[in-house]
Amino acid sequence: MEKTDRICRISIDSYACNGCESCVELLPEFFRISDASGKAETVNDTTPCSFALDQAVATCPVGCIDIKNA
Ligand code: SF4
Number of structural domains in the chain: 1
Ligand 1, atom 1, lies closest to the CA of 17
* Ligand 1 centroid from CA 30, angstroms: 12
Domain, as residue range, for 35: 7-69
Ligand 1 midpoint to CA 28 (Å): 12
| CA gap 50, 2 in Å, rounded | 6
Residue 2 in any domain: the answer is no
H or E element that contains 12: strand 7-12
Whether pLDDT at 69 is above 80: yes
Distances (CA, A) of 13 to 3, 4, 5, 16, 64: 25, 25, 26, 6, 5
Q: Is the CB of 16 under 6 A from ligand 1?
A: no
Per residue in 27-66, pLDDT tens?
999 999 999 999 999 999 899 999 999 999 999 999 999 9
In-domain check, residue 19: yes
Here the CATH number for the domain that contains residue 13 is 3.30.70.20
Q: Supply the pTM of this predicted model.
A: 0.89
